[in-house]
Amino acid sequence: MGELKELRLLDVTGCELLRRIPVNLIGRLKKLEELLIGDESFKEWDVVGCDSTEGMNASLTELESLSHLAVLSLKIPEIEQCDELKRLIKEQDGEREIIPKSLGFPKLNILSISGCDKLEHVFPVSVSPSLQNLEQMKIKLADNLKQIFYSGEGDALTRDGVINFPQLRKLILSNCSFFGPKNSAAQLPSLQVLTIHGHKELGNLLAQLQGLTSLETLHVYSLPVPDMRCIWKCIVLSHLTSLVVRNCKRLKHVFTSIMITSLVHLEVPEISTSVELEQIIAKDNDNEKDQILSGSDLQLHAFPNLCQLKIRGCNK
């Protein structure tokens, strides 16, 4: 097929058993104008720098040589085992590849990245306007991650420094210092589930997450903080129904007395393996020694919808 140099249309949609397209075959079809692979056909793309197919299959880099390509239809289900991956969108010869406004990922609903130990950045800021339909973002086991969205030379920051994700409902982040450039903020008005794990610069990250007016579920793991004030001041508490705090070894208390009246919908708080935890609810007055609220105060003001309270491994 590679000798069909005049070929302008290649359509293999519906070929569900197709497992191999030889390396450089697509790249030799220099006059190809339409490449239709579809959702259920070939999915075994080789990923440059990874061992996914051991170099036996075609890679997406071959599309760069198709200067006449006008129509492209394909599906990329997963990118796996990319231990050396630093960015999803490459930089070459010191000059960033600027993505035109007409391109991007307008139909992307779920972004999941796991086990990319050397990943430093995910997308340039210029891609963010195309992610308006993103509903879930999950990034874990990426211990070298600096920013999810970065701004490089020639990449203008979004208007007012705000990155908008109107449809994002679930956000899971692990060891990420900043969501975007230091002078930016992310508006997340629809976010319902937030999980944060092991962030050494938690204050910087949370300062960039704004508009958390719909949050219902909050999970925090392995945070090196003595209290959760930096978290509570960033979210609207009235919708919170579920809270999990786990393995926060420096944590001394979870709630303060002034905030618990806002937790009217909290049903199932779970606190575990926080070895320094002394109190669940502490007084706000810094001039007094923190004291646990009396039983009568709790009954009158705290957690009217509480169904279950789970506390494990908190020896103090």
For 216-224, what is the mean pLDDT? Answer: 89
Instruction: Quickly state the pLDDT bin for 287 (edges 50, 70, 90).
Output: very low
CA dist 25 and 189 (Å) reads 46
Kindly report, residue by residue over 41-79, the tens digit of the pLDDT.
776 777 654 544 456 787 777 877 888 888 877 766 555
**200 or 141, which is more confident?**
141
Q: How confident is the model at residue 88 (pLDDT cuts 50, 70, 90)?
A: low
- pLDDT in the model for residue 93: 41
Measured torsion, CA atoms of residues 127, 131, 132, 137, in degrees rounded to the nearest 10: -130
What is the average pLDDT across 95-123?
69
Beta bridge partners of 36: 11, 73
Read off the pTM.
Answer: 0.71
Among 77, 88, 64, 89, which Cα is nearest to 38's?
77
State the pLDDT at residue 137.
92
Tokens of 272: 């575990």
Whether the pLDDT of residue 119 is over 60: the answer is yes
User: 185 pairs with which residues across the strands?
Assistant: 162
Q: What is the pLDDT of residue 30?
A: 86
Contact at 8 Å (CB) between 238 and 265?
A: yes
What confidence score (pLDDT) does residue 103 get?
54
Radius of gyration over alpha carbons of the chain, in Å? 24
Q: Average pLDDT, whole number, for the chain?
A: 77
